Amino acid sequence: MVNSGHYNERVKQLDNKIQKAFAKGSPDGYIAGLMNRRNVWKIQLAKMEAMKNGRS
């Protein structure tokens, strides 16, 4: 089983990227893509937590 810490770390990294992109005034499409990737990682993390807690 994969360590959920890896997923948490990816979400944090993407949060930082999103904040930097906003600060630089990056295009909306780029920021939306980062947010989409972040949400995918959050969903994976939630699925792992549910499986770990027996609620798959």
Question: What is the secondary structure of 19-51 as a DSSP string?
Answer: HHHHHHT--HHHHHHHHHHHHHHHHHHHHHHHH
CA–CA distance, 6 with 55 (Å, rounded to integer) = 21
Residue 55: predicted pLDDT: 67
Residue 15: predicted pLDDT: 95
**What six digits make up the tokens of 17?**
């990227």
How many structural domains does the chain have?
A: 1
pLDDT in tens, the chain (56 residues): 456 788 889 999 999 999 999 999 999 999 999 999 999 999 998 998 888 888 65
- Structural domain that includes position 16: 4-52
Q: Are 40 and 49 in contact (CB under 8 A)?
A: no
pTM metric for this prediction: 0.76
Residue 1: predicted pLDDT: 47
**What six digits make up the tokens of 9?**
């770390």
